[in-house]
Amino acid sequence: MEMTLTKSARPSVLLPMIIIGTLFFVFGFVTWLNGSLIPFLRIVCHLNEFQAMLVTFAFYIAYFVMALPMSRLLDRIGYKNGMVAGLGIMAFGSALFIPAALSTYYGMFLIALFVLATGLTILQTASNPYIVCIGPRESAAMRISIMGLVNKGAGVIVPLVFTAWILTGMDQYSPEALAALSAQDKEARIAELSARLVVPYIYMTLALLALLLFVKFSPLPEPDLQNNTDAQDPQHTEPARPSVLQYPQLVLGVIALFFYVGVEVIAGDTIGLYGQNLGVSNFGSLTSYTMMFMVLGYIVGVTCIPRYLSQARALQGSAVFGLCFTLGVMFGSSDSQQLSSWLFGWMGVPTVPDTVLFLALLGFANALVWPAIWPLALQGLGKHTATASAMLIMAIAGGALLPLVYGYFAEHSGNSQLAYWIMLPCYAVILYYAFRGHKKRHW
């Protein structure tokens, strides 16, 4: 038996897909705003490279801390009400950015990011099993890829909007320009820059509240996640095991997902900081480059899985591409822009140094990892699906810890380019899971 929606909801798959797709757009908009916030807050709060990466730590550690409590909340109040609660918490977190921007206090920004991510934790814990269960297991990665297109589409848009709205006239905030000012004038100019966040976050808060009302009064059905074993799985007749830790495909999947989210965040959220270090003028919008390549990867997933490409094969290719592009970041030229000129410069898109392009190309390598790991890890979990989903969500903590490790090596080595070596062992773990780890059914 496959994990399915309740019987009354089976004929109407389109509406849940639209609602969950809207939520995935919100995930992307809020999550990938961090890539633009990091270089912005580095200026506003006078941060070094390691301190700036606390943005990703505060945001992604919430998934680890709150995933299991939020899964219990979902069991108690239901998935739909849980989504409503998540949107309410996100709206509160968004509102906290207003006093943070007015005070320019970095700690308040980090608290706001943690609260915002807590709301996202509920939404992620509820929505990912929905997408897995809404149709056949073998095409689950394709459905998650559709959600990924929506999510990363938001990731393409938000850095461009943030740059156009917030990061205009940044030449007056360069270290040289600020150094020429008196201490009082410098603080006044920094406060003026920080205050630019107030109006956008007022709008974001109102949008989240409107979405809360939309979900609250929508006819979104409750999912039935009790029967999650796959008829294609030779273990489907086996009785449920006492603990989720007795399922190697899940435990190894959680580990692989931890390293995946780490490299995804490094690729998406440090590219602006790295571009800023290289003197790239449009550093605030560089996250859009990573997201655009990620969108291309999701298009491959939507069109090729499962017809031409199995979920396991997609994961294998992703790991190999990740290793190759990481080597390109480490050893490519930071002076040449030939690769980006050849790829998209002829379309009028601003070109970037080759190493920045390889960092953006990691978006393509990363695109199908999340869609492939989820169905492979949840296969055969049965009644343990809800707890297993929470464990997979907890793996998002990789996005909190690994960027900090990168920031530490970049800061202390003085070479932010070679510090990307941290991604090589991460892709090696994903490669192992793609070839062998997901097949294990017993320790």
**Domain layout of the chain by residue ranges:** 11-221+246-439
Q: For position 94, what pLDDT does the model report?
A: 93
At position 405, the amino acid (one-letter code) is V
CA atoms within 13 A on the CB side of 271: 33
Q: What is the pLDDT of residues 16-66, one digit of tens each?
A: 778 888 888 887 888 878 877 888 888 888 888 788 889 889 988 988 888
pLDDT band at 3 (very low <50, low <70, confident <90, very high): very low
Q: Percent of the chain having pLDDT more than 70?
A: 88
* In contact, 150 and 21? CB cutoff 8 Å: yes
Write down the mean pLDDT value for the chain.
82
Q: For position 116, what pLDDT does the model report?
A: 92
Q: For position 306, what pLDDT does the model report?
A: 73
Q: For position 135, what pLDDT does the model report?
A: 64
Burial of 348 (0-12, 13-18, 19+ CB in 10 A): exposed
- CB atoms under 10 Å from CB of 164, counted, come to 11
Q: For position 225, what pLDDT does the model report?
A: 53
Q: For position 1, what pLDDT does the model report?
A: 34
Higher pLDDT, 245 or 209: 209
Q: What is the pLDDT of residues 279-315, one digit of tens each?
A: 887 777 788 888 889 888 888 887 887 778 888 888 9
pLDDT band at 2 (very low <50, low <70, confident <90, very high): very low
Q: For position 367, what pLDDT does the model report?
A: 87
SS (H, E, C) the chain: CCCEECHHHCCCCHHHHHHHHHHHHHHHHHHCCHHHHHHHHHHHCCCCHHHHCHHHHHHHHHHHHHHHHHHHHHHHHCHHHHHHHHHHHHHHHHHHHHHHHHHCCHHHHHHHHHHHHHHHHHHHHHHHHHHHHCCCHHHHHHHHHHHHHHHHHHHHHHHHHHHHHCCCCHHHHCHHHHHCCCHHHHHHHHHHHHHHHHHHHHHHHHHHHHHHHHHHCCCCCCEECCCCCCCCCCCCCCCCCCCHHHCHHHHHHHHHHHHHHHHHHHHHHCHHHHHHHHCCCCHHHHHHHHHHHHHHHHHHHHHHCCCCCCHHHHHHHHHHHHHHHHHHHHHCCCCCCHHHHHHCHHHCCCCCCHHHHHHHHHHHHHCCHHHHHHHHHHCCCHHHHHHHHHHHHHHHHHHHHHHHHHHHHHHHHCCCCHHHHHHHHHHHHHHHHHHCHHHCCCC
pLDDT band at 137 (very low <50, low <70, confident <90, very high): low
Q: For position 347, what pLDDT does the model report?
A: 85
Q: For position 233, what pLDDT does the model report?
A: 47
Res. 237: pLDDT tops 60: no
- Which candidate, 148, 37, 45, 167, places its Cα nearest to that of 94? 37
At position 248, the amino acid (one-letter code) is P
Distance CA 292, CA 296 (A): 6
The residues, ordered by sequence, that sit 6+ positions from 100 with a Cβ below 8 Å of its Cβ are 108, 109, 111, 112, 197
Longest CA–CA span in the chain (Å) reads: 74
Q: What is the pLDDT of residues 377-386, one digit of tens each?
A: 888 777 777 6
Res. 344: pLDDT tops 90: no
pLDDT band at 246 (very low <50, low <70, confident <90, very high): confident
pLDDT band at 257 (very low <50, low <70, confident <90, very high): very high
CA angle 8, 11, 13 (to 5 degrees): 105
Higher pLDDT, 250 or 71: 250
CA distances, 337 to each of 38, 102, 355 (Å): 24, 39, 9
Q: What is the pLDDT of residues 174-215, one digit of tens each?
A: 677 777 777 788 888 888 888 888 988 999 899 899 989 988
The CATH number that domain 11-221+246-439 falls under is: 1.20.1250.20
Torsion angle, CA of 178/180/182/185, rounded to 10 degrees? -40
Distance CA 128, CA 31 (A): 16
Average pLDDT over residues 238-244: 68
- Which candidate, 256, 247, 251, places its Cα nearest to that of 312? 256
Q: For position 354, what pLDDT does the model report?
A: 92
CA angle 80, 301, 351 (to 5 degrees): 105
Q: For position 316, what pLDDT does the model report?
A: 93
Average pLDDT over residues 153-170: 78
Q: For position 253, what pLDDT does the model report?
A: 93
Q: For position 40, what pLDDT does the model report?
A: 84
